[in-house]
Every structure is written in C-alpha cells, then in structure tokens.
C-alpha cells in the first residue's frame, strides 16, 4: 500500500474533484438516456399488450431480453473501435443510433417486429457502458474508481426515480395524442433526448487527459503519473487470451449474476407493483421511484465505503445478499402493497450497490487493449442475463400464473454471485489502495 503525504493528498483531491465535475455529470446524463431507452419497455407493457396482438408475457420477456443478444455480438468490437476512433466520436455515434431505433419502437405491430427492434437497439447501444468504464480508466486510478463508477451508475437509480413517474405520466397524459397510443408516445418522447445529447458530445467531451484544455500542465502530469504508477500491477493480455483467461471468465459469471438481479427484477417492477392492486400508470410510476431513490443513496455509500477501506469482496457479498432477501420479502408479501414495496426497496438497494463495487475489481488488473476488450467481454457475457432474467420470469409467469416463482431464481443468482466472489476472488487480486 502506497503512502501519500497529506499535502499531496489534498492537492490530488482538488484535481480529481475538478476532473469529476467536468466529466461525471455528462456521463451521468448519457447513462440516464441510455437506461431510460433500455427499460421504458417495462412501462410500455402496461398498455402495449392490449394493442399488439400476440404480445404475451413470454413474448414480452423474450423481446425485453433479446436486446442483450445484439449487445453481446457487438460489445467487444465496439470497445476496440472506441480506442481507435476516440471517445467523442464513438459515444456520439452510439447515442444517436440508439435514440433513433428506440423512437422507432412506436411502430411495433407484431411480436416479430418487437423482437427485431429490440435486437437492433442492443446492436446500437453495444459498447456504451463498457466504453464509459474504459473511459474512466483514462482519468482515475483504481483507488478512486469505485466512487466514480458509483456516481456514474446512480443514473440507473435516478432513471427509476425520474423515469418511473415520467413514463407513467406520459402513458396517462398523452394517450390518444396525434392518434398515437400512450406507449407509442413514450418511445417517441424518451428516444429524442439521446439523439440531442449525442449531437452535442463531440463538442464537449475530451478523448483523454492530454486533450483536456481545462487542465494545467502540472495537473495533467499528476493525473498521468498516478495512472503510470499502477500500470505495473496490471496484465497486458492478447485479444485471444481475453476470452479464456480464468480471472475474466470468473468475473463474467459474477457479473452475469449481478445483471440477472438487475434485469430480472427491473423489467418487471412496474408489473409487480400493479399486481399489488395499483392500476393507474401514474401511481405505478410514482411508486417505482421509491426503490430507486434509496438505491441511488446505497450506490454512493457502498462505493465510498469500499474505496475508503480498500475492501471489495465483503461489500459485494453484503449487497448481493440484501438484494436476494428483498426479492424474497416482496414475493412473500406480494398481496400487501406496503410490505411488498419495502421488499422491492431492499432488493433494489442491494442489487444496485453491487455494480460500483464490482467494476473496480476487474479494471484493477487490466491495462491497454486488454482493458478495452476485457471490460467489454465481461459486460457482454454478463449482460446476457438481461435476456435470461426477464425471459425466465416471463416464461415461469405464463406457465404457473405466478411471477414469484421466477423471481426466486433471480434471488438464487444473486446469492451465487456473492458466493463466487467470496470463494474464488482472492484478496490480493483486489487492489488494496485506499490510502
């Protein structure tokens, strides 16, 4: 563990605060747009099923999840292309194309069209999240990355806080406008911001430290030196080794468990709340904001605590356990709106808190092209849970007429992820550099 003088620590804190305020709000805004376009289908379902013939729970679950197959196929190439073309150009391209495709979902009139547009949306968005995680490694050393990932990923929670009521309000207020249904207006209105932000990205985002005119020469030197100091601890793997390295395969499986929890519940939260007896889409949206509001706080607190202590494994396991327990509570008391909401809140707190703790672990051991491809590989394999999670819940719901059985599988996957981290990730592989 390195020792840093108090004077240098204060100077570093000032510089990193300057960097964080410059890039995190923009990344945060981009991710809100991305996540909103990804999960607004959960609210659209409340009206969409009655308008699109054949859109059963099974079809919905497959369509919601097939997004991640498109995501899977283009994830690694996309991250490598971002290293080649630069963050400004590539992130702008991603946002503009996914905004167009998300808005086009308003034209869905059959299950097959639903499948195709969800698959294309995955292709368009592939590379965005791992690209941002990679982009953060251009600026922040591992010991500061947990907090930055937490701040960036609270966009998921804020999307739930703002996006839930917003989606419910659009469904409630704009149904019938211009002869379009509420769910069609939802896709249109929530796709446009991604396009507008994407058009602005090339003018306000820097590709890295050297191109940042808002930093002084001394500040650039400090930032670059801190990144160089930890390079010797990292692995420089070839592209072929990325896909078979046992550490990365383990992280792929653990992230699969995290994403299984996020998407296995996230796509279904509006329906779960509706099942407790709340029927108005606006009220469903307002109630959805509660779990995500607490989740945002939890992400920051867990990320800060993990960075401060340098400990990742038990922080991750604790969060995953909370997620599993919360799901069980919401299932057992699904007929009671109050208790079910408490369970969903605990579940969301735990599930969201796993993410800012997870990503500093693999990024602490990867460098160069290995970081670009490795982050993308972990994210692409892990996010296949975005297909299997909603699909399993949907299929089990159709077969048993009870959604709670499928959610117990989600709970088990979270516990599996916690067990894998504690059993197979040695303490030494998680860089202890809190000081």
Q: What is the pLDDT of residues 397-413, one digit of tens each?
A: 777 776 667 788 889 99
Residue 268 pLDDT > 80, yes or no? no
Q: Collapse the DSSP code of 109 into the 3-class scheme (helix H, G, I; strand E, B; otherwise coil) and give the result.
A: coil
For 179-312, where are the alpha helices, taking DSSP H only? 182-204, 217-231, 239-242, 246-266, 269-275, 281-309
Residue 431 pLDDT > 50, yes or no? no
Quick one: what percent of the chain has pLDDT higher than 70? 89
DSSP code, position 425: S
Tokens representing 211 are 């191109």
Q: Are 201 and 80 in contact (CB under 8 A)?
A: no
| Rounded average pLDDT over 227-248 | 72
Dihedral class, residue 56 (left if φ above 0, else alpha if ψ from -120 to 50, else beta):
beta
* Lookup result for tokens 């992230």: 255
Total-model pTM: 0.72
pLDDT value for 370: 66
Q: Collapse the DSSP code of 235 into the 3-class scheme (helix H, G, I; strand E, B; otherwise coil) and give the result.
A: strand
Tokens representing 324 are 């599993």
Within 8 A by CB and 6+ apart from 78, the residues are: 90, 94, 126, 127, 130, 131, 376
Dihedral class, residue 387 (left if φ above 0, else alpha if ψ from -120 to 50, else beta):
alpha
Within 8 A by CB and 6+ apart from 93, the residues are: 198
List pLDDT tens digits, range 379-395. Answer: 888 878 877 777 777 77
CB neighbourhood size of 238 (10 A): 11
Residue 21 pLDDT > 50, yes or no? yes
């Amino acid at each position: 563990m390195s020792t840093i003088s108090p004077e240098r620590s204060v100077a570093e804190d000032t510089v990193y605060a300057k960097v964080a305020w410059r890039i995190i709000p923009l990344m945060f805004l981009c991710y809100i747009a991305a996540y909103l376009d990804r999960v607004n289908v959960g609210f659209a379902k409340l009206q969409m099923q009655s308008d699109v013939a054949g859109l059963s729970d099974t079809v919905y679950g497959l369509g919601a999840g097939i997004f991640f197959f498109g995501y899977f196929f283009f994830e690694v190439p996309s991250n490598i292309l971002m290293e080649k073309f630069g963050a400004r150009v590539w992130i702008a391209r991603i946002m503009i194309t996914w905004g167009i495709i998300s808005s086009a979902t308003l034209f869905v009139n059959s299950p097959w069209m639903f499948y195709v547009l969800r698959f294309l949306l995955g292709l368009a968005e592939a590379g965005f999240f791992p690209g941002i995680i990679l982009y953060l490694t251009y600026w922040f050393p591992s010991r500061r990355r947990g907090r930055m990932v937490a701040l960036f990923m609270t966009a998921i929670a804020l999307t739930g806080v703002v996006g839930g009521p917003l989606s419910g309000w659009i469904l409630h207020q704009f149904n019938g406008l211009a002869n379009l249904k509420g769910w069609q207006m939802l896709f249109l209105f929530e796709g446009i911001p991604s396009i507008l932000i994407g058009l602005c990205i090339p003018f306000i985002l820097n590709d890295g430290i050297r191109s940042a005119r808002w930093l002084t020469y001394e500040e650039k030197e400090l930032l670059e030196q801190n990144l160089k100091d930890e390079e010797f601890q990292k692995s420089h793997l070839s592209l072929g080794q990325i896909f078979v390295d046992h550490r990365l395969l383990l992280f792929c499986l653990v992230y699969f468990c995290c994403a299984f929890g996020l998407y296995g519940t996230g796509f279904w939260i509006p329906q779960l709340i509706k099942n407790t007896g709340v029927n108005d889409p606006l009220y469903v949206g307002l109630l959805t904001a509660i779990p995500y509001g607490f989740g945002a706080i939890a992400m920051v607190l867990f990320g800060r605590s993990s960075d401060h202590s340098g400990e990742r494994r038990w922080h991750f396991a604790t969060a995953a356990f909370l997620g599993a327990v919360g799901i069980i509570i919401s299932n057992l008391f699904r007929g009671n709106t109050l208790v079910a909401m408490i369970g969903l809140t605990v579940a969301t707190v735990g599930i969201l808190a796993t993410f800012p703790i997870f990503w500093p672990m693999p990024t602490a051991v990867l460098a160069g092209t290995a970081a670009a491809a490795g982050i993308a590989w972990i994210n692409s394999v892990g996010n296949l849970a975005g297909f299997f999670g909603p699909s399993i819940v949907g299929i089990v719901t159709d077969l048993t007429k009870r959604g709670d059985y499928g959610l117990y599988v989600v709970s088990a996957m979270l516990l599996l992820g916690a067990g894998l981290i504690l059993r197979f990730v040695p303490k030494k592989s998680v860089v202890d550099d809190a000081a």
